Structure 1
Amino acid sequence: MINGKHLLFELGCEELPPKTLLKLSNALRSNIIEALTAAGLSFTASKAYATPRRLAVVIENLATAQPDKTIEKRGPAMQAAFAADGTPSKAAVGFAVSCGTTFDKLERLTTDKGEWLVFTQNVKGQSTENLIPDIIRHSIAALPIAKRMRWGSFSTEFVRPVHWAVLLYGGNIIKTEILGLETGTATRGHRFHAPQKLTINKPEDYPEALFKEGKVIADFEQRKSIIHAAAQKAALAVNGIAHIEDELLEEVTALNEWPVPVTGSFDPRFLDLPAEVLITTMQTNQKYFPVKNAVGGLLPHFITFSNIDSSNLQSIRQGNERVVTPRLSDAEFFWKQDRKKRLEERLLSLSSIIFQENLGTLADKTERVENLAAYIATNINADIDLAKRAALLAKTDLMTEMVGEFGNLQGIMGRYYALADNEPAEVARALEEQYFPKQSGSPTPPSTTGQILAIADKLDTLVGIFKVGLIPTGDKDPYALRRAALGILRTIIENKLNINIVELIRFANDQINPSASQSGSEVKRYANGSIDDEPTTSDQVIDFIFDRLKGYCFDQGYSADEFDAVIAVTPAEPLDFMQRLQAVKAFRQLPQAESLAAANKRIRNILKKSETAPGAQVGQLIEAQEKQLLAAALQSDKDIQPLLAQRDYPAMLNRLAQLRDDIDAFFDHVMVMTEDAELRANRLALLSMLSEQFLSCADISRLQS
């Protein structure tokens, strides 16, 4: 059992930014844990607490001191430790001085590799109480705060002004200064219900004391669960179900220390607006949870949370209803105004919006995407007219009042306005689906036209931004190109689209003519010394796409050597790539796999050293084993051709696995690099034939044992 005591640190502040509260809380806990671990201080558990006015961490059973340790420093080798006259050398004396000792205090260390001077020192561990103040200060300084502020005449900085600091170890205060505050035992409860100082006697009392005496639920996750359950209970009272999205739930949790649900209503006439408009208005502007019926339709109610347990909740409800009505009225006005003009009539206004200074306007982008969409539709035998129409209207909803007010409704409003304009339903859906997948793990476009538009739009952005030299570096990716590339890949693979991504990228590149205002240095920077950057741009985007594919494959559970085996044969279609990868993964489970991988590696090494051209004809052979292998290879070539045409790679590799015994027998009995030049050439041609058969699927020589 660990001999330790609980540690509590709490920092009391003005109301913290709700969208970053949880991030700050988790970071503070992580920073403290990391520092304690680095200091060698053991503990059994840790817990973070976060409310609008406080960040706190409790460390359980924290050791009272660092363990004692022995420090060993190795110095010069013994042959360099003495001068010719037997006195200590300068190197030996210098080493002793660097260790804060004298030569006669040094010891000898003997190993099987030699003998050295060594300095050994026993260091007593420092007490936890002495170490904690600096650990807390450094942990606060390392918090991910984008912009720190100062207040009053203080020189200290934090995300918000701080008012108190609690630092307890067991039942004792660790006296120190944190952000200009003297630490103590006094915390604060709820700003209105319990504004007086509360004393925390020991760390384990912290959450309970705040709850009972301070009307504060300190545990973020507990508060979040309470809000979720209370919202659903309140919605049930009006025969509904609360529409709760995780992001808003966390924000509401970060806004309340003592959450009290309040149910409000609005004029049912607003239900004539698109549901997404109402939901966005309530969630974004008001932090309300909308209420739906059993089949998903909106009800004229909302759930909000008050941070006060008021005796007059009716007044709070009425106040929220008064506030939401003008918001919904604005949305209603936007909806009516936008519908006075067809989407098609907004095309001219796209010429006034710059997409990117070197890539032209949204009208220019629309033209490129329209050409790309037609190209993709042609290649997958889809409806070209629908694809072009969707691409033409894709960005027109950006010119509407509604999307101008609520940017997150782009695409969604395009769908509604297109349907109102009697555009084909497939086109209307595509206007929304062009932004799919919206985030990691979310669905790809379900409609064919939506898939085409999503790929075309993302690829135009990807190639265009690369072409003007704004390539992502490190963590910097302002145009979200990594997400775009992954979205393209997922859309192709998960919807089983046979698209040659290499040809598509080159076509997209041909559509773009960067502005002449682009500096020559920007062009040359990514052109590898070439004046013409177009091939280089395409190659860079191809590499970028396949790097994203590698990450996607790893997330799907494929290994690095399996990926390498497929990338080695450069499949140009992401779907085809994945089909080959699946086959390789299945192949390596076969009993013949390891032997065949090793044989293929041997074959590839032999062929690399020879000058045998692919497709070389096999002439006269003399050994029984090589004749048998040739016959087997000719038959397998005949058998795999229809499988290759059908892209039945698992069956193809299963068939090739049957060559194992003949290949093993060949290498056991036949010398490939014989002195007879003609025979050697024939044997190399045979190996080349085998290699080409395997390479028609993947390079299995890349598979590790």
Structure 2
Amino acid sequence: MKKTLLVEIGTEELPAKELRNLSLSFSKNIIHELDLHKIKYGNIISYATPRRLALKIENINPFYTKKSIKKKGPSISYAFDHNNLPTNSALCWAKSCGIDLKEAKRMKNNKGEWLYYETNVKKENVDIIFPKIIFTSIKKMNTYTLMKWNNNKFKFSRPVRNISVLLDNKIVPVNIFDVHSDRILRNHISFKNPKIIIKNANEYPDILFKHSQIIAHFNSRKAKIKKDAEFVVKKINGNLYYPDILLNEITALVESPTVLIGTFDKKFLTLPHEILIHIMTNNQKYFPVYDTNKKLIPYFIFVTNVQSCDLKYVITGNENVLHARFTDAKFFFKNDQLKKIEEYLPSLKNILFQKKLGSLYEKTNRIKSLITWIAPLINANLKYAIRAAILSKCDLNTNMVFEFPEIQGIVGMYYAINNEENKEVAIAIKEHYQPKFSGDQLPSNLISCALAIADKIDTLSGIFGIAEYPKGDKDPYALKRTATGIVRIIISKKIKIDLKKLLIKSTNLYKKIIDKKLTINLVLQFILERCYSFYHLQGYNIDIVQSVLSCKLTQLVDIDARIKAISYFKKLNTYRPLVLANKRICKILKKSEKKTYENINFNLTKEKSEIILLKKIENLNIILPDLLLKKRYKEALLNLSNLIDPIESFFNSVIINHKNPEIKINRLTILYEIKKIFLNIADFSYLNDY
């Protein structure tokens, strides 16, 4: 009879931004362990709230098959003598297996034949193996924050307070984090009685909702919040526009959500709306409300986890908190502007960029030098680009950014606008931090792009220069995101800039980088790795990406053009025969121990197919340079296709390993010349012929 297994881990408040990842990781690990132990099961449902991670596994087989290690015995030649009688070696092996030698099987492979034995299938109750499965699954969970509590040696995202493991109505004995499993579930935080007693695994999660209105299923809770918020906002003829990431975070903060609406004073609408929206979404986790023209209006939607009879008190409390926040913002916004934004520049000397790399003032000077070199290359206005570089970090020493660090750049933009700076300069102050995350918007103008590249490449050069680059999963300076930002900006905006030259300029601005050549190579490799990930996420064929990246190119726009050209060419009928021809050439050259000539000796070419092939090579060497110079890689590949038939004819009618060593070397030289032609576009040896 199949059963239901429940596993719930009750914790202190879990990090809202990690909750979904923790839940998915736990579920994935459990599934992996069940499959590993060949335990049959039906539907698996995961649950996640701020104070619990849980799984309910339905129709689980109460027994699992346990097999002993397969035992390989002596080879047949050692197991039996010339009279086919078992040797002492075979008998001892059979005894160690606990079997009669007649029960042994024979196993063959290309090295010979051996005695072999596998124990019979043995059935065990699943509750015997579950403690190990659960512990292993928890141990392997992906989490960015780990902590210790009490005196136990284990680490987890937050302190674990209870563990409930039930197989139908039976408690499965588990001891993890020095916490023993029982049938006690954590109650809602607002209830005096902290415990809910569950008798049977099948009662979950209904017992939580019935007892305390807890919605354990993340997506169900999310759907309720969304539905209720849309219902409430219609009462005031308002509209909601919010990213899904905000809804996920709010869902992760509550167990039994109640959606309410609050108001704030209209006078605050005189502040830049981006600042108000940031405070509501990032600081307070509220939904801003807009009119039909997508303009902010003095309302906000919030979700409370408090179960209260007096909801007016809850609304007033949230309104007071937001009022205080907005009042601070208004004061800082006004007070900061008693000085011009440029006047904050000298004070950047007192703010560290990185303790080994100096202050933000020094970083600003390096960015200024870099943008002086970058701007003319990309046709950005040099005067305004330099001005943007000088002002780029000035807002970091304002009271507004000190209070609300996440709106750095946004604050600088508004202060620059109020100081009547050029509009593109002001926008660049905000946008040079973009993209901040996957899917974030890119800088909108050339000055913003130039400033973003300068700032990001300076960070990469400096941190790599002092060997503080990412190691394993640790990336404290978010360098992967920084490098990905450079890749996205350059490729999407088609900015023709040589990364190696850029890095030479950047590293030369640092006095503390000792091995500049090593730093340049490390950063270049790091950026190209991000480039690989960039194309992989977009669904490009990995073999094509690798074939181009292996050529060690340093212009991302050039890399992009080649990848797209080969992706187009892959759809044509000539792709496969050209790739196969290249593979055959590479295979022959790899096997050959003979060195090739520096140039083809035409006096040694006698066969008709050789002469035809050489003419094609000569024609390509005339046509290709201009096409490659103009980055017309599609046309170049189509011209390469003209080699298919001559190469095939060459292989069919010519013996490469000619008895005359000079002719042999010359024919290898012909193949090497063809290989070099291919390498002008990509390393075709990485490409699959399908």
Whether the TM-score (by the shorter chain) exceeds 0.5 is yes
Per the alignment, residue 626 of structure 1 pairs with 610
- Shift of the 108–599 alpha-carbon distance from structure 1 to 2, 3 Å rule, reads closer
Q: CA deviation at 1:447?
A: 0.8
Q: CA deviation at 1:187?
A: 4.3
Q: Which residue of 2 aligns with 1:594?
A: 576
CA-CA distance at 1:704 after TM superposition: 3.1
User: Aligned residue for 2:286?
Assistant: 288
State the SS of the aligned residue for 1:476: coil
Task: Output the CA distance in 1 between the equivalents of 2:218 and 2:128.
Answer: 30
- RMSD of aligned alpha carbons: 3.5
**Contact residue 561 and residue 703 of structure 1 kept, 8 A:** yes
SS at match of 2:65: coil
Q: Following superposition of structure 1 onto structure 2, how do residues 325-364 of structure 1 map, counting pairs within 5 Å?
A: 325-364=323-362
1:700 aligns with 2:684: yes
Per-residue deviation at 1:199? 5.2
Equivalence for 1:374: 372
TM-score, normalised to structure 2, is: 0.88
Match of 2:393?
395
User: Structure 2: how far apart are the matches of 1:160 and 1:696?
Assistant: 55
Cα distance in 2 for partners of 1:569, 1:280 equals 44
Query: Following superposition of structure 1 onto structure 2, how do residues 182-581 of structure 1 map, counting pairs within 5 Å?
Result: 183-185=181-183, 187=185, 190=188, 192=190, 195=193, 200-514=198-512, 533-581=515-563
After the TM superposition, which of the residue ranges 59-68 and 289-298 deviates more from structure 2?
289-298
Closer, same or farther: CA 513–44 of 1 in aligned 2, 3 Å: same
Structure-2 change in CA distance of 1:199 and 1:461 (3 Å): closer
Provide the C-alpha distance between the structure 2 equivalents of 1:185 and 1:167, rounded to a whole number of angstroms: 7
Structure 1, residues 101-153: CA drift from partner, whole Å, max 9, x if none? 378687353536544344443242211233334544554555546113239xx
Supply the distance in 1 between the matched residues of 2:573 and 2:685 (Cα, whole angstroms).
15
C-alpha contact (below 8 Å) 1:289/1:302 kept by paired residues:
yes
Q: Distance in 2 between matches of 1:196 and 1:637?
A: 80
One-letter amino acid of the structure 1 residue matched with residue 233 of structure 2: A
Matches of 2:501 and 2:159, distance apart in 1: 57
More divergent stretch after superposition (377-386 vs 18-27): 18-27
The answer (yes or no) to whether the contact 1:262–1:317 under 8 Å persists in 2 is: yes
Give the distance between the partners of 2:113 and 2:521, measured in 1 at CA: 56
In the other structure, the counterpart of 1:77 is 75
**Partner AA of 1:656 in structure 2:** L
1:651 partnered with 2:657: no
Matched residue of 1:422: which SS?
coil
Partner of 1:584: 566
Give the length in aligned residue pairs: 683
Q: Is the 8 A contact 2:43 2:57 kept in 1?
A: yes
Secondary structure at the counterpart of residue 58 of structure 1: strand
Cα 1:87–1:476 shift into 2, 3 Å: same
- In structure 1, runs of 5+ residues without a counterpart are 516-522, 524-532
* TM-score, length basis structure 1: 0.87
Provide the C-alpha distance between the structure 1 equivalents of 2:89 and 2:663, rounded to a whole number of angstroms: 66
> What code does the residue aligned with 1:586 have?
Y
**Corresponding residue for 2:644?**
660
- Whether the aligned pair in 2 keeps the contact of 1:562 and 1:702 (CA below 8 Å) is yes
SS in 2 for 1:222: helix
- Per the alignment, do residues 195 and 109 of structure 1 end up closer, same or farther by CA in structure 2, a change over 3 Å counting? same
Correspondence 1:610 to 2:595:
yes
Once residues 159 and 507 of structure 2 are traced to their aligned partners in structure 1, the CA distance between those partners, rounded to angstroms, is 52
1:306 deviates by 2.6
Alignment check: 8 A CA contact 2:436 2:481 kept: no
Take 1:457 and 1:105, find their aligned partners in 2: how far apart are those partners?
75
Instruction: Give the partner amino acid of 2:108.
Output: T
Pick one of 43, 46, 52 that aligns with 2:44.
46
CA contact (8 A) 1:108 1:115 kept: no
Using a 3 Å threshold, how does the CA distance of structure 1 residues 641 and 23 change in structure 2: closer, same or farther?
A: closer
Contact 2:146 2:158 in 1 (8 A): no
1:448-502: per-residue Cα shift (whole Å, max 9, x none)?
Answer: 1111111111111111111122232211222222221221111111111111112
Once residues 676 and 141 of structure 1 are traced to their aligned partners in structure 2, the CA distance between those partners, rounded to angstroms, is 66
Report deviation, 1:603: 4.8
Q: What's the offset of the Cα at 1:416? A: 1.1
Using the TM superposition, give the Cα deviation of residue 216 of structure 1 relative to its aligned residue in structure 2, in angstroms: 2.0
Contact 2:610–2:650 under 8 Å retained in 1: yes
Which digits, 9 at most, give the CA deviation of each residue in 1:281-307, with x for residues without a partner? 223433322212222221111112233
- Residue by residue over 1:213-253, the C-alpha shift from the partner in whole angstroms, topping out at 9 and shown as x without a partner, is 43222222111111122122222222222343434423332
Q: Helix, strand or coil for the counterpart of 2:124?
A: coil
Any idea what SS the aligned residue of 2:202 has?
helix
The alpha-carbon deviation at position 400 of structure 1 amounts to: 1.0
How far 1:311 sits from its partner (Å)? 3.7
- Cα deviation code 1:491-527 (max 9, x no counterpart): 1111111111121112212221107xxxxxxx5xxxx
Deviations 1:186-227 (A, max 9, x none): 546545579586554533332233323432222221111111
Letter of the 1:588 counterpart: K
- Of 158-167 and 263-272, more deviation after overlay is shown by 158-167
Moved more, 139-148 or 34-43: 139-148
Give the SS at the match of 1:543: helix
CA distance in 1, matches of 2:115, 2:349: 78
- Corresponding letter in the other structure for 1:552: F
In structure 1, distance between residues paired with 2:577 and 2:155:
65
Q: Give the superposition deviation at 1:45.
A: 1.2
C-alpha spacing 1:652/1:355, structure 2 compared with 1 (3 Å): same
SS in 1 for 2:292: coil
Distance 1:606 1:32, change over 3 A: closer
> Does structure 2 conserve the Cα–Cα contact (< 8 Å) formed by 1:186 and 1:199?
yes
Alpha-carbon contact 1:619-1:682 (below 8 Å) kept: no
Contact 1:41/1:62 (8 A) holds in 2: yes
Gap regions ≥5 residues in structure 2? none
Contact 1:571/1:577 (<8 A) preserved? yes
